[in-house]
Structure 1
Amino acid sequence: MGWISNDWLPWLDRAGRVSRLRAAVFALLWVPLALLAARTLAGDLGPRPITEAIHDSGDWTVRLLILTIVVTPLRQVSGRSELIGVRRMIGVATLVAALLHVTLYMADLGWDAGRIATEILIRPYLAIGFVALAGLVALGVTSTDGAIRRLGGAAWKRLHGLVHPIVLLALVHVFLQSKLDLAQGAILTGVACAGLAIRLAAERGSATSIVAAIVAAAVASIGGGAMEAVWFTLKTGRSPTGLLASNFDAAYRIPPSWIAGAIAATALVVAHLVRRKMPARRVR
């Protein structure tokens, strides 16, 4: 087994030691696939199992993609440099989920290349999805240490900065397929907005306070609620007043903007506590 390098063993850090964090994240990244497999074996995917599997794998692709852009600001706040390797692991899992999503879609169309191409051309959400997939593939194949050396640090950073427009395309893809239930898209949008806000605050050295957590929660709530309202108006042509008002009333449902805000605030508070309780360790 001497020919297997540490790069191929995700539970090892760069020094060759077992990392409990990496091992835990690696195990957790298998959970979505395990749940989908369990539902498949139990016959719990409904009358159109492939369609349900397509939707499930697509949902997890976008969730993991959002998580990849949230890891960096959480690393900045927590001071835990080992999260760099975790980010790469999550990025690879995102690409695998995206490829599974597309493979299931093509299987559902009977592997008919002509029909697949036609669907992409006539359905905007599919065209946007395939552009996002191409971007994920480009990021995936250049995610190795060797690719960083070949491209150079500056060029590599510019290339991987494309993750933000890819996230935007993925969110549009989600909303275009939504009917009137925009909750998931609103939550994911809010978390993405909070991640960007935390990153900007961290770069200015002001993301380690409770005030920053409150601001992140506000950004997530406003971003998620605004996106939900805008998309509702575009989709129905109706005024978003009632939908916006529902963000201040939890009598019938917990507003997605509240959920996004709670996720953002909780993540930032936990990262802040980790920084205080666990001194940062330099990772070689």
Structure 2
Amino acid sequence: MYPWRDRAGQLSGFKLTVFLLLLLPGVWIAVAWALASPDPNAGTLLAGAVNSATDAMPVTKALHEIGLWAVRLLILTLAVTPFRRIAAWPALIQIRRMLGVAAFAYLAIHFILYIVQQNFRLIFVASEIVQRFYLSIGFVALLGFLILALTSTDAAMQRLGGRKWQRLHYFVYPLTMLGLWHFFLQSKINVSEPVLMSGLFIWLMLYRLAYRWNGSRSLLLWHLGVLAIAAAALTMIGEWAWYETMTTLGGNRILAANFTLASGLRPSWWVLIAGLTVVFLKIIADRWWGRDRATRRRRPSTAAVSAG
């Protein structure tokens, strides 16, 4: 079934829009890569790949950008369930599979671009994966997401059974952690983007824990407020720990930078802003969508009185 059609086989404007938006980052990166090629006749992505041996920078840039978008799409995929509940928007569930498959597609392209960067030396690529830890965990994550992508179909769910399928797809959480770890190690010194993505991942995991702790009931505003603060604090601590243990810059300088605007907002503050935005979304959803639900509940009783 085409991703832009609903379960009835009808064209879905919502799914089609999301599908086209998912293509945009890849198209943008491909065009930028082609235009950066040193060969004036290289007007396509394939032509850029052929010239990668003489101009590695466009390939490296494309490799990193595609990887970044893969992580972003993983986070968006995990955000569907919380936002579906908080915003009272059941239609969001329609795009979760599409987002997940798109995230894997970007991961696969990321790996292919690494092979291109290494001039298609497959034996060398295999040896690098074995010898370099950050490549090893990235490759393990890729294989894991491949399994999840292949079993994301309705047919696979029927063959496995709902419970086994769900257990298998719970591996998305540790696999995402491996992907983020790979992102950290690959980024080396400047880990602002990995810290931000990890902070958002922390919020998503805290939300799931809180939702279960609350008996699978909707979280209240103060719950979401606490989650925002907790996720931001853990992000700040994680950033400090990384710079303290993995670099020569020292964590204390980075920690102090969280309390000044001299270098702009640190990732922990963006995580806090994102968490508080969810609180605001909850307020809007409760006021508007909650009012609509209450109105729909009252209508049958009114009709019954009129009929009687």
TM range (shorter): 0.7 to 0.9
Distance in 1, matches of 2:218 and 2:35, equals: 45
- The aligned amino acid for 1:40 is W
Write out per-residue CA displacement over residues 216-271 of structure 1, whole angstroms, 9 at most, x where no aligned residue. 32133123212211111221256422211221222322111111221233245335
Alignment of 1:1-12 (within 5 A): 7-8=1-2, 10-12=3-5
Could you tell me which residue of structure 2 aligns to residue 4 of structure 1?
A: none
Q: Is the 8 A contact 1:74 1:271 kept in 2?
A: no
Could you tell me which residue of structure 2 aligns to residue 134 of structure 1?
A: 143
Q: Is the 8 A contact 1:190 1:261 kept in 2?
A: no
Distance 1:275-1:42 versus aligned 2 partners, 3 A rule = farther
Distance 1:22-1:273 versus aligned 2 partners, 3 A rule = farther
Could you tell me which residue of structure 2 aligns to residue 221 of structure 1?
A: 232
- Secondary structure of the structure 2 residue equivalent to 1:30: helix
Could you tell me which residue of structure 2 aligns to residue 188 of structure 1?
A: 197
Distance 1:215-1:21 versus aligned 2 partners, 3 A rule = farther
Distance 1:49-1:131 versus aligned 2 partners, 3 A rule = same
Distance 1:24-1:219 versus aligned 2 partners, 3 A rule = farther
Distance in 1, matches of 2:145 and 2:76, equals: 14
Q: Is the 8 A contact 1:78 1:272 kept in 2?
A: no
Distance in 2, matches of 1:245 and 1:119, equals: 37
Higher relative contact order (CA 8 A, sep 6+): 1
Distance in 1, matches of 2:285 and 2:16, equals: 19
Aligned: 1:209 with 2:220: yes
Q: Is the 8 A contact 2:80 2:96 kept in 1?
A: yes
Write out per-residue CA displacement over residues 114-165 of structure 1, whole angstroms, 9 at most, x where no aligned residue. 1011111111110010000001000000001111111011101110000000
Aligned: 1:262 with 2:262: no
Task: Tell me which protein shows more helix as a share of its residues.
Answer: 2
Query: TM-score, length-normalised on structure 1?
Result: 0.88
Distance in 2, matches of 1:41 and 1:237, equals: 37
Query: TM-score, length-normalised on structure 2?
Result: 0.81
Distance 1:111-1:275 versus aligned 2 partners, 3 A rule = farther
Could you tell me which residue of structure 2 aligns to residue 96 of structure 1?
A: 105
Q: Which moved more, 1:203-212 or 1:256-265?
A: 203-212
Alignment of 1:135-284 (within 5 A): 135-203=144-212, 204=214, 207-236=218-247, 239-270=250-281, 273-274=284-285, 276-278=287-289
Pick one of 83, 87, 101 that aligns with 1:78: 87
Share of identical aligned residues, percent?
A: 36
Aligned: 1:114 with 2:107: no
- The aligned amino acid for 1:211 is W
Q: Is the 8 A contact 2:231 2:271 kept in 1?
A: yes
Distance in 2, matches of 1:275 and 1:123, equals: 50
Distance in 1, matches of 2:123 and 2:210, equals: 48
1:103 to partner: Cα distance: 0.6
Q: Is the 8 A contact 2:18 2:95 kept in 1?
A: yes
1:39 to partner: Cα distance: 1.3
Could you tell me which residue of structure 1 aligns to residue 20 of structure 2?
A: 27
Moved over 4 A (4+): 44-47, 205-208
Gaps of 5+ in 2: 38-47, 49-54, 297-308
Number of residues of Structure 1 aligned to a counterpart in Structure 2: 274
1:77 to partner: Cα distance: 2.0
Gaps of 5+ in 1: 1-6
Distance in 2, matches of 1:231 and 1:20, equals: 43
Q: Is the 8 A contact 2:221 2:282 kept in 1?
A: no
Please report the RMSD computed on the Cα atoms of aligned residues, expressed in angstroms: 2.3
Could you say which structure has the larger radius of gyration? 2
Q: Is the 8 A contact 2:202 2:231 kept in 1?
A: yes
Could you tell me which residue of structure 2 aligns to residue 40 of structure 1?
A: 33
Aligned: 1:13 with 2:6: yes
- Secondary structure of the structure 1 residue equivalent to 2:90: coil
Q: Is the 8 A contact 1:217 1:264 kept in 2?
A: yes
Pick one of 77, 98, 120 that aligns with 1:68: 77
Q: Is the 8 A contact 2:87 2:285 kept in 1?
A: yes
Distance 1:100-1:226 versus aligned 2 partners, 3 A rule = same
Distance 1:271-1:102 versus aligned 2 partners, 3 A rule = farther
